[in-house]
A and B are shown apart, each in its own frame.
Chain A
Amino acid sequence: MRVSIICAVALAAAPMLASAQDRNAGRNLAASCAMCHGTDGRGATGYQPLAGVAKDELVRKLNGFRSGATPATVMHQISKGYTDQQIDQIAAYFAAQRK
């Protein structure tokens, strides 16, 4: 009985696995930002809040830091450590968080 329940759950979850992994990829990458910008990008003092900010705006800002177009004290150094795809995933994660 127990085994069959587990199998059923696993079966139901299987088609969602890829998207769950993608979602976790964004979550895991974005977790690095929390030490300065607050858990899930919320509630930080002295740093820009990230939760609920539009994805395009976050991508634009991060790319600005990365290219050097936007002056920064540290974000120009950190943003250079990420690929376009990773910046996209991070921005999507924060955009989906409540403010």
Chain B
Amino acid sequence: MTRKFDRRDFIKIGGAAALASVPFLPGCATTPSKARVVVVGGGFGGATAAKYIRMWDPAIEVVMVERGEAFVSCPLSNLVLGGSKSMADITHRYSGLRRHGVSVVQDEVMAVDAAKRTVRLARGGDLAYDRLIVSPGIDFMFNEIQGSEAAMNAGTVLHAWKAGPQTSALRRQLEGMRNGGVYVLSVPLAPYRCPPGPYERASQVASYFKKAKPRSKVLILDANPDVTSKGPLFKRAWADLYKGIIEFRGNAKAVGVDPRTNSVKLEVEDVKGDVLNVVPPQRAGDIAVKAGLITANNRWCGVDWRTMESTAVKGVHVLGDATLSAPAMPKSGSMANQHAKICAAAVIALINGQQPDPGPKIVNTCYSYVSDKEAMHVASVHTWNDKSKTLTTVPGSGGVSSARSELEGAYAWAWATNIWQDVLG
């Protein structure tokens, strides 16, 4: 039997500050909640799960713990680097979730006690849960690229692979770069967050250079042998729009950075640039490590795709980029939003003593802008496969754009607007 999220809990989780951030839940006085779900992380996965659980079963109490004051979208953040969108365009408040009765607590979960079913908050105190949803995104394996963490902390070599302060800082570096300079983008081996993201970023920076400093260059140093997503479409766009601006080098894995000489160290040579943007290899976010949720290669969290429940820790569900991806499933905001809906339905079923949906089916749609107006997409449909016990793509479904277009550019912006609303509104 769980307690309601009452005044004692507020005091336990850190006093006045927490109390101020958690409004009274509508109907709480008359409708005792039947269970409490705690959600860790308010990105595309966590926020969607919090909203959909409240929407589909208002008798379940949902507390979402998120470090940030607001939601900053990674999708579309490359357009901030290109200069056609601002940080304000990709930043959204959590007030919509509160209207659904989600308690949004701005704090950080430091530890999970799966036996006691509690999480420990940074500001002090424990929060009890019946089911826990962890949607922690990614953190970086800085030790794979020598010198990268120090350079990142010094603010000289950025990743900007989590939208936020680094996005603005990288934009300022690009604005400050001389005409005729070289922007170097280092891409890690797949899997990483947002497979087409690096190539969209290169396109956006090239679009900015073409207008503002046309003698400048974009150099992509890719640890992968070739462009990992929408390859032919990106290459056609680069040839048509950015000939002589974008250079792509495959099998160019960064092993170090040297801010003193402004160079990226590859296995066989050093490459100098004016602005270095090094995206390190990634793993599930830190809290997933602390909670013992990592099951694969010291990096990713295995889940049962019918419920999103961790294969390592019972009662804990994992969403989004942190999961050990199912075959041909990208780490995308779109997929995290869809994971969250599988999870919401399953958590509600389990709390109500029902069978979770035995055969979930979800969709990925990712748009990439190659200029400020033209975009293209990749889409896939993923369904439970009883033989392989995972989600697999439906044969004959999915695909990419036949060509980039302004029509898809308009759809891409509408996609962003609508998914933000679906996640937060």
- Could you tell me which A residues sit within 8 Å of B by CB distance? 10, 17, 20-21, 24-25, 27-29, 31-39, 43-47, 73-74, 77-78, 80-82, 86
In the bound complex, do residue A46 and residue B411 qualify as a contact, i.e. CB atoms below 8 Å apart?
yes
Question: Could you say which residues of chain B place their CB within 8 Å of the CB of A86?
Answer: 361
Contact residues of B between 342 and 369, Cβ < 8 Å to A:
342, 345, 349, 353-355, 357, 360-363, 365
Question: Could you say which residues of chain A place their CB within 8 Å of the CB of B190?
Answer: none
In the bound complex, do residue B414 and residue A25 qualify as a contact, i.e. CB atoms below 8 Å apart?
no
In the bound complex, do residue B345 and residue A28 qualify as a contact, i.e. CB atoms below 8 Å apart?
yes
Considering the chains assembled together, what is the distance between the CA atoms of A44 and B411 in angstroms? 11
In the bound complex, do residue A31 and residue B52 qualify as a contact, i.e. CB atoms below 8 Å apart?
yes
Chain B: interface residue total (CB-CB under 8 A): 45
A13 → B minimal CB distance (Å): 9
Question: Could you say which residues of chain A place their CB within 8 Å of the CB of B377?
Answer: 73-74
Contacting A38 at CB < 8 Å: which of B362, B398, B399, B418?
Answer: B418
Which of B108-116, B144-152, B312-320, B333-341 sits within the interface?
B333-341
Q: Does B226 contact A (CB under 8 A)?
A: no
Contacting B413 at CB < 8 Å: which of A24, A33, A46, A80?
Answer: A46
For this complex, 27 residue pairs linking A to B, each with C-beta atoms less than 8 Å apart, are: A20-B354, A24-B357, A32-B362, A33-B363, A35-B338, A35-B365, A35-B418, A35-B419, A36-B415, A38-B418, A39-B55, A44-B418, A45-B418, A46-B417, A47-B414, A73-B407, A74-B365, A77-B398, A78-B379, A78-B398, A80-B381, A80-B397, A80-B398, A81-B394, A81-B397, A82-B394, A86-B361
Question: Could you say which residues of chain B place their CB within 8 Å of the CB of A38?
Answer: 418, 421-422
- Could you tell me which B residues sit within 8 Å of A by CB distance? 52, 55-56, 334, 337-338, 341-342, 345, 349, 353-355, 357, 360-363, 365, 377, 379-381, 383, 393-394, 396-399, 401, 405, 407-408, 410-411, 413-415, 417-419, 421-422, 425
Known A31-B52, A39-B422: A78·B397 in contact at CB below 8 Å: yes
Question: Could you say which residues of chain B place their CB within 8 Å of the CB of A35?
Answer: 334, 337-338, 363, 365, 415, 418-419, 422
In the bound complex, do residue A80 and residue B422 qualify as a contact, i.e. CB atoms below 8 Å apart?
no
In the bound complex, do residue B418 and residue A36 qualify as a contact, i.e. CB atoms below 8 Å apart?
yes
Considering the chains assembled together, what is the distance between the CA atoms of A39 and B131 in angstroms? 24
Question: Could you say which residues of chain B place their CB within 8 Å of the CB of A39?
Answer: 55, 421-422, 425
